[in-house]
Chains A and B, each alone.
Chain A
Amino acid sequence: MIRKALALAYKDFQMEAGKRTLFTSLLFFSFMLIFLASFTLTVYPEVKAALSGLIYWLVLISIAFQVLNRSLASEEDFGCWDALCLCPISPRVIYLGKFIYNILLLIIIELITFPAFVVFLNLKPTSFCMLIPIFLASVGFVGVGLLFALFSLKTAGRELAIQVTVLPILLPALFIGLKATLLLAAGANISDIWKLLLFLVLYDLLFITIACLVFDTTLVD
């Protein structure tokens, strides 16, 4: 199962390497948002501490939704969804493969853009601790989002459908993750926010388990 899931994730990376449209557009969008935010905060430096965490969350949410929108739709657009469903594999292999690809893509983009965020907003090096709640939230985002991407696969306006349907499920992780990030930006230590991080870990485990169990490609007919 893992071998086939890795093969699926590898295939998605091969495809992205061939066109690089999603990767470059996500990077461009992220850098643009960070640059504009840094410009705004030089005019209003008094709100920098309060808003810096929020700004990166806006980046995260935007790129996460773009990644999710393309996650399964890329198969459908190439007419390959049927071919994937023709393979004698459990739907969980597809879920796991897509999860591995999407979370790695998201983390790579975060690792590239976050240092720029720290530099442009002139944050302390300790700000890198913010990556912990951001990574944990990203895992939940992709884990839950893939399930809703499946449900929206054959619907008209699927990109909007994913965002509207998945948002209520993501809200707890969004609020807790944002709160953890804001506290870290305000000078808190990891030990001060361990309960919030634990919530994010439990959220990820719970919803990824549910999504993995419910993900059934035969539902899409």
Chain B
Amino acid sequence: MIVINNLGKDFDTGFSLKDINLVIETGEKIKIFGPNGAGKTTFLRILACLSKPSRGSFTIFGYPHTERIEILKRIGLTAPSGHFYELLTVYQNLEFYGKMYGLSRQELGERIKGLLKQFNLSEKENTKVNQLSKGMKQRLAIIKALLHDPPILLLDEPFSGLDLDSANSLKNYLNSLTDKTIITATHDFDWEEGEKNRIIIFDNGAVVFDGVWSEGGHSFKAFYKKVVGK
């Protein structure tokens, strides 16, 4: 469970994340929408303890945001940059991060093999990351986030660079993780008909919509444009 109270962050550029108040239950699947620069990535970075809030606080499973190590054990984050050492192989990268998460050698080996198979990257185990396509790197980023089996996944633009089949496969996989809280930030309108997940829309650093959207005869894109005014 994530509880966020009056969370804010100011930047020298003048942009600020404005007093976010949210409660996210365990197992919820949330999509965060918003235009570029709306504050989605900043929000995820604060939740992942990569950026300190200027004001307010949050707790994750009861741990306050100052308990960085306890929070990080429970979070997996993917970022568009990928976070990989390009000159190391896929296995070397995952092995390094696994060790940083304190996984034992045997546990790590089994977990890496299993996840590589799950994401169709088994053949690339000994390939250097700089030889992977963007879509493969994207899948590898998801594997890295899942390596320590965290209960919370923070996914920043997870479908960018993926072809339709890979994106659908990833969506199906993420939907199968029923016990995990998944917060996905995107600026694509990848809304599926009949989807009943909670959505949060950011605009200019503030939450402008938080709830479950129902179609009501309008497309999600039209609804989104109405909310953000663009």
Contacts and interface: CB of A to CB of B under 8 A. Distances in A.
Given A15-B85, A15-B88, A88 B101 contact: yes
B99 A19 contact: no
B52 interface: yes
Interface stretch (B67-75, B159-167, B203-211, B215-223): B67-75
A interface secondary structure, majority: helix
Contacts of B51: 221
Interface stretch (A1-9, A107-115, A142-150, A202-210): A1-9
A89 B88 contact: no
Contacts of B102: 4, 88
B79 interface: yes
A3 B87 CA distance: 23
Interface in A110-167: none
Nearest to B145: A86
B190 interface: no
Nearest to A84: B100
A88 B76 CA distance: 11
A5 to B, nearest CB: 10
Nearest to B148: A88
Interface stretch (A37-45, A63-71, A74-82): A74-82
B83 A4 contact: no
Q: Contact size class for A?
A: 20 to 34
16 contacts: A7-B96, A11-B88, A14-B92, A15-B85, A18-B128, A78-B85, A79-B81, A79-B83, A80-B83, A83-B144, A87-B72, A88-B68, A88-B69, A88-B70, A89-B69, A218-B52
Given A7-B100, A19-B87, A88-B70, 14 more contacts: A4-B99, A14-B88, A18-B87, A18-B88, A78-B84, A78-B85, A79-B82, A83-B97, A85-B50, A86-B50, A86-B77, A86-B83, A88-B100, A88-B102
Interface of B: 48-52, 68-70, 72-73, 75, 77, 79, 81-88, 92, 96-97, 99-102, 128, 144
